[in-house]
Amino acid sequence: MSKKCGTVSIIGRPNVGKSTLLNHLVGYKLSAIANKPQTTRTNIRGIVTELDKKDDSGYQLIFTDTPGIHLNSKNLLNRTLNSEAVAAVEDVDAIIMIVEALKWTDEDDFVLSRLKHTKKPVILLLNKVDRIQEKDRLFPYLEKVGAKREFTDIIPVSASKGINTDIVIESLLKIVPESDFIYPEDHITDKSVRFICGELIREQLVLNLHEELPYTTAVEIEVFEETDKLVTIEVVIWTDRKNQKGIIIGKKGETLKRIGQSARRSLEEFLMKKVMLKQWVKVEENWQNNPRHLNELGIISNREL
């Protein structure tokens, strides 16, 4: 029996469920999830491997979760996120585009336009079908979106509930080539544990801070020390204005304390160890337009400076 191995990019406008799909397929929370756009800020790979050791057959699918592609690119951070997402459709075996079932926005059109010249197979996922009571409403929508381009497959799914995600895997296995695995069978991501911990902390900023404030913040892990029973993590939360620092800390430190408590629970669940988390809030004006700072945060690479 043979092995199959392939790379798959997951793209779409913000807040359609890309990270939720990745986390469900991999079985671990690799990518920050929140019901707000711009939660994902860098391309994150999740690796799904199934191996039958009896006959050395199986598959390995390497998914890349990308930042949401959006129309408004007000600063260097936003332009970088768009570039990261668009670059991810190069040199892959297949592309998954996610939209919200029964919705199609200008940003969905913009995402689709980024695929205009690709010859790669594109699978369209209609996400959040669990929220639709009358499933018959999907049929005219399927016809409408199917006319927008020649998709390899159009699959109604629920990334959060795992509905039809097995069909997504089956569809991809018809596309990806026979090949040896790229990663060891026990790997679930190409990112470091330190990186994932930073994402889990940043997720709590998005969940606990209101309006636009989460998008003017960033998390930088300065200390990550691990023993057999304890992980010590020290982080700096960056923001771009002094008044925002006070909001993040909150009255008598209550907001920062709440963020820290929620983040520590997520970290302990992921690391399966006790976590000592220390947080500081610092100000750097206009960091979202500072290439050096974006590079230090891992959002923009040296080659792009």
CB 220 within 8 A of CB 198: yes
Q: Which fold has domain 193-304?
A: GMP Synthetase; Chain A, domain 3 (3.30.300)
**Residue-level pLDDT, tens digit, the chain, 305 residues:** 589 999 999 999 888 998 899 989 988 777 655 444 444 546 778 999 999 878 888 999 999 887 756 556 555 455 555 555 455 567 899 999 999 999 999 999 988 988 888 889 999 999 999 999 998 999 999 999 999 999 999 999 999 999 999 999 999 999 999 999 999 998 888 888 888 898 889 889 888 887 655 567 788 899 999 999 999 999 999 888 888 898 899 999 999 999 999 999 999 998 999 999 999 999 887 666 666 556 655 555 443 43
Looking at residue 257, its pLDDT comes to 95
Looking at residue 214, its pLDDT comes to 54
Q: Which CATH superfamily is domain 3-173 in?
A: P-loop containing nucleotide triphosphate hydrolases (3.40.50.300)
Looking at residue 36, its pLDDT comes to 47
Domains 3-173 and 193-304 share a fold: no
> What's the whole-model pTM score?
0.74
- Domains of the chain, by residue range, sit at 3-173, 193-304
